[in-house]
Every structure is written in structure tokens, then in C-alpha cells.
Chain A
Amino acid sequence: MDTALDKPLELGEPETLHGISGSPGIVVGKVVVFSPLAEGFIRYRLEEGAASKEEQRFLAAVAQAEQSLISLRQQFEGDLADTVAIVDSHIRMVRDRMIVEQSLNLIRQKQINAEWALDLSLRLIKKKFDHIADDYIRSRFADVEYVAQLVAEQLTGQGRSFPAGFAEPVIVVGEDFSPEDTIRMHTDKVLGFLTEKGGATSHTAIVARSLGLPAVVGVADITQLCRTGDTVILDGYNGRVCLHPTMDQQQLHLEYDRQHRAFSDEMSWYIHLASETVDGLRMRLSANIEIPDELESVIYYGANGIGLFRSEFGYFQRRQLPSEEDLFTVYRDMVAALSPQPVTIRTLDVGGDKLAAHLPNSGLHFARERNPALGLRSIRFSLREQDLFITQLRALLRASGHGRLRILLPLISSLNELRQTRAVIDKVMEQLTQEGIPFNAETEIGIMIEVPSAVVMADTLAAEVDFFSIGTNDLIQYALAIDRGNEYVASMYDPLHPAVLRMISQTIEAGHRQGIEVSLCGEMAGDVFTAPVLLGLGLDELSMRPSAIPHVKRLLRHSTFGRLTALAKQLLGCGDSSETKALLKQYLADNYPDQFADNERA
């Protein structure tokens, strides 16, 4: 049962794509892909005297677009208030004077055709909206764009064609779907939505939530990556998509969904309770996130801060590098929103197989990688491309005064590497001081413990940092020499290998001897099967995907620290993972019979 409850994660890496959770739920189904509309239209200057005719043509298109919206609105039944409200605001916008009057003026004054004038109007509106600081209002520009698109389609005569109905239920894939699009496709045959664009407030997300259908939005290039007819698993809880899943994975996901629905009512109880054991030992349960939009769910699920913010998003979402100001704004907003709880931001973890063409010297670096996992990646990349690193450090330090920001350095493998990095940080601090820019000089700086050498040297490293964060995903891979992406050996990737448990335990001891906090942020932390072990090993913080927090908290609140430590001690004495698993299974069945009695794992 636990497997289904909390393990939709063990999917073949190459097939799993990450996006943003737009609406909860899991479905498995075939996809229908709507390719983005071709851009581009004809621009031409008008013959003399033709302007008034062109104005009429434009007004007729506006009227037709308006009429199509109104008739959709009338067809629309059901109590989908949010969706209807969006259609209503589109009806208003299509006649808005910023679109209509402005375009008419442009047609007349510049003697240009209606399509061109409409496009210019849209650009002028965009300019105004771009200055808006409020994300929600700024993102409404998408509505303006949509409405203008409707008018443009009437002008050019190429309407957006959606099939009137699907023969079997499908998952629809596209750039973004407007409410009108979704009404046209007859949602009783739609299983879920998967889009390239958008965040939690995108159209698709709003519509999907009001329909109660799962959605994953913001998956880069998804319209290129899958083809109509492909089967995918759409995991709206975690914002993940699995292309070409195996039958086992499909079963697992559907079971997970069933469990999730049953548990979610009970889980919501735990969101507001303290994360502590029956005997009062507290542990921070915090969130792992990849994009700032997830902040909402961090707060919703009652996380005690952010234990791992993977800062790569800012570097991969656009084709150009983010500026110091871009990064600063994101970090500051996040830190301020969660203050006084800690926000741990990991510095750039790129390189190896994660390279984007616009990163400095990427072609050069990529060509040299024969073994990406062991190559120029992560902190090594940052130390080599120092300008990039310094920009990020400046943004981080500038944000440090707005709450409790912790800087986390990834892949540290030696004391020398740590000292080199600290020297760069010191240099940046000096720069900021000279420039008179405020920052918190006491900003906590910690390292990821994810390379075996760092575990062995943890006592030495602990003396020079403020905290440790154990990254089990990489640590297991490096310690057991297993590539999870390789199907022949993936089954040997084993978080409960006694060697892994001992490494975690050693790291905690070394950290605590130096009086620093030790947290853990791998997938293990959010798995209710492995979490009890971690709780018993004495970590100060477990960081996991936000939706797992209530589950782990429930477990924690039904445990006593004494029993958890006894379990951990027993497991550390095991010689093999078959023993650790058997012991753990027994422990869970004995202590949480309601949850684990029919446990089929291990």
C-alpha cells in the first residue's frame, strides 16, 4: 500500500518529464497533440482610399469573433463558474477600445492592413502590461493575446479547428488551452490536460481545476516530444509526465491515485499540526521545489520552509542567461514570503548531461563529456565559469537580508573545493560591501553531501560550514555505482542498502559533533516506507516534494522517538538490504497496522 501511496517516482528517468502541477489527479491514456498555430500573417500598405473599407473588414471580424464567443457561452452549461467568468471577460475584451479603437486608428493613420494594425495594437498593449509588477494581472495578457488571435483568425479565415468529439477519452496536449478551446472539444472525452506554457494561474490550470481533471502545465517542448496516439501517465499531483510507461508503472499510478483520493481528506488534517513525535521531538519537514510557482503548494502543505530550491529553472526556461536582477527578484520574493522559515537555495547544478546551449562554453564542455555523472558539472562547472557563479552569488547575498536564506553548495568532494568556493563567496561579499549593497554577512552556507568522499571527510568539512544537506539521489548512485537510467542495473539502486544507511548515519554524527544541522533532501525523505528510518537516524530536517509532507508528518506524529531510534540502530547492524527491508516491513506492520498491514513491498 505504501508503494502506491507515495512512490510514483521510480520511473525510467529518460521518459519522465517535469512540469508544474496545474490540477491534481492521475490518469493514464492516449494523447492527442495540437501543434502550435503557425505564426506570421501578411502585412501590406493600403491603397489610397481603401482605409474605410479595411476598417469595415476589421469591425466585421471583431463582430464575428464576438459572436463566436457569445454562442459558445450560450452552449455552455454546468456550474463551472471560473470557466464561464473567463469567457465573459473575453467577450468584454474583444470590444475593448484598446484593441478596437487603437486598431482602427492605426489602419487610418498608417494606411496599413487590419492584421498588421491588430498586431501593432497587441504590441502596444503588451508594452503596457510588461510594466506591471503583479504577476497575476500581468499574466492576463495571455487573455488579450487569445482574443486578438480570435479576431485575427476571422480576418485571415483560418479558424482554429478542434475535433468536435473524440472517439475515446484522451489526454490533450498543446501550447495552452483557452476555456473556449476546451468547450469546443467536449470535455467528457478529455482525461486530462498537458501543456507547454503556463503556471498555476494559466488558463489550462484554471479550467482543469474547475472541471476536476488533472493537468500538468509548463512542460517544455511537450508538443514536440509526444505524438498523437502515444500513451502517457499524467501525474497532476507532482507535475510529472511519463512517456511510454510500462504496464507496471500504469498500474502503480492508478493505484496511487485511488489511494491519494482516499487519503487526501485525512491528510488535510495534518497540514496545520506541528511536525513532532508523540514524545515531543520536533523535526523540520520542508519542501523541495524547482520553480517559484510551487511556493503556493509549499505553503498549502504546511512545509517548515524550503529545504532545497533547485535554482536551475532560471537558466533553462529562457534562451538567455538570467540577469542578477532577475535572480535577485525571484530569491527575494521567495525568502520574504516564507520568512522567518529558512529557504535553502542550491547554487547552479548544471553541466554533465544538463547543459543548455546558451551557457558559457557549453559546446566545448559538452564535447568533452564521456561520463557526464563524473564530469564537469555542478560546483565544478560554477568554479570554472566563475562569472556565471558570481552573478548568482550576488543575487543570493542581496536577497539574504530579506529573510532566512541558506546557500547550499552542490557536489562538494573535497575540503580544497569547499575552500575555493568559499573564497569566491568572500570575494563577492567584499564586492558588495564596497558597493554599499546590503546583505547578511552571516548568511548560512552549507554543502550537499552526495559524493562518498564527502561522507568520509564529513568531520573535517563540518568544521567549515553551517549545515549539511544529504542528497541521497546522487549519493546512492555514486556509492553503489548504479545508474538508475540503465534498466539492467536500476533495480540495484537501493536506498535501504546498509551502506547507504551507514553513510547517512556517519554524516549526521559528524555534523552533530560540530554542532551543525544535518538535513536530507533525496526522494527517500518523501517516501513513507523509508522516512521512518531517516526519522530514527536523528536528522534535523527532511526535505521532500510538498505534497508528501502531510504523509510523512502523519507518520512522525504516530511515532515515538525511542522506537524510531531503536529501529534505526537495528537497521544499521544489518548486513544486507534484504534484512533491512524485512525488518522495516515488520516494524511498519507492527506500529502502523492500519497503513501497512497489507504491505507488499520489499
Chain B
Amino acid sequence: MSKIIWESLIALPRGVHCRVAAKMIEIVATHDAEVQLAAEGGTADCSSMLEILSLALTQGSSVRCTATGPNAPQVAQAIDQLLSAKEEL
């Protein structure tokens, strides 16, 4: 069981909207891990699209992430890559 804490800076031009949130949920669901997010707008569990959206992660904002579980490192890498990409993949 490992636990990884990191901070991602949102570079996506339109921030974290539905489609990005959906990808985050998918990443977490397909790996054996749980991810918690904390930002100015509050905290969110990375399994709930509405909680993620309600953090209002716009371009330039930062989010503190905590991944726990056997696959935490892979999840951490995938999510950080997604959030800090300059355009949506």
C-alpha cells in the first residue's frame, strides 16, 4: 500500500470540465487506487464528477492530490500528466 501526495498546476486552457473530469474518474476506476483532491474550492473524491467540477479548477489554479492504494504511483503520474497538459488529448 503506498501513498503519494503531489500538487498539479492546471494548464488545460478550459480547465477541468466534464470531459477531463470523466478521464480522471476513468483513470482512478481502472487502477487499484483512490484519489482525493483539495483546492481553494474545497475537497473532492476523484470518483465523483460533480465534486471534481465543483472545485472549479480553471487554468492556472493548482490542486493538491493524494493517491492511496497499490497502484498509487501509476495513478499519480497519469493524473498529473492529464492536468498539466497544455491541451486536451
The total of chain A residues at the interface (CB under 8 A) is 23
19 contacts between A and B (CB under 8 A): A86-B18, A92-B25, A93-B50, A96-B50, A97-B45, A97-B47, A98-B54, A128-B42, A129-B53, A129-B54, A131-B56, A134-B58, A137-B15, A137-B17, A137-B53, A137-B58, A138-B56, A140-B17, A140-B18
> Closest chain B residue to A121 by CB distance?
B50
Contact A134 B15 (CB under 8 A): yes
Given A89-B22, A140-B53, A96 contacting B48 (CB threshold 8 A): yes
Q: How many pairs, one residue from A and one from B, have CB atoms within 8 Å of each other in the complex? A: 58
B80 at the interface (CB under 8 A from A): no
List, in ascending order, chain A residues with CB within 8 A of B16's CB: 137
Selected contact of A136 from candidates B14, B47, B48, CB within 8 Å: B14
Contact B56 A98 (CB under 8 A): no
A85 at the interface (CB under 8 A from B): yes
Given A93-B49, A97-B51, A88 contacting B22 (CB threshold 8 A): yes
> Closest chain B residue to A99 by CB distance?
B50
List, in ascending order, chain B residues with CB within 8 A of A129's CB: 53-54
> Closest chain A residue to B45 by CB distance?
A97
Which A residues contact B (CB, under 8 angstroms)?
A: 85-86, 88-89, 92-93, 96-99, 125, 128-129, 131-134, 136-138, 140, 143-144
Q: How far is the CA of A97 from the CA of B47 in the complex (A)?
A: 8
Measured CB to CB, the closest approach of chain A to B35, in angstroms, equals 14
Measured CB to CB, the closest approach of chain B to A90, in angstroms, equals 9
Q: Label chain A's interface by main secondary structure.
A: helix
Interface size bucket, B side?
Answer: 20 to 34
List, in ascending order, chain B residues with CB within 8 A of A143's CB: 18
Contact B50 A125 (CB under 8 A): yes
Contact B50 A144 (CB under 8 A): yes
Q: Which of B11-48 contact A (CB under 8 A)?
A: 14-19, 21-22, 25, 41-42, 45, 47-48
List, in ascending order, chain B residues with CB within 8 A of A138's CB: 56
Measured CB to CB, the closest approach of chain A to B69, in angstroms, equals 18
> Closest chain B residue to A90 by CB distance?
B18
Q: How far is the CA of A85 from the CA of B19 in the complex (A)?
A: 7
Q: How far is the CA of A31 from the CA of B14 in the complex (A)?
A: 35
Contact A98 B51 (CB under 8 A): yes
Given A131-B41, A132-B41, A140-B18, A89 contacting B49 (CB threshold 8 A): yes
Measured CB to CB, the closest approach of chain A to B36, in angstroms, equals 13
List, in ascending order, chain B residues with CB within 8 A of A98's CB: 48, 50-51, 54
Measured CB to CB, the closest approach of chain B to A350, in angstroms, equals 34
Contact B50 A137 (CB under 8 A): no
Measured CB to CB, the closest approach of chain B to A147, in angstroms, equals 10
> Closest chain A residue to B16 by CB distance?
A137
List, in ascending order, chain B residues with CB within 8 A of A137's CB: 15-17, 53, 56, 58
Q: How far is the CA of A2 from the CA of B54 in the complex (A)?
A: 49
Given A132-B54, A133-B56, A134-B56, A92 contacting B17 (CB threshold 8 A): no
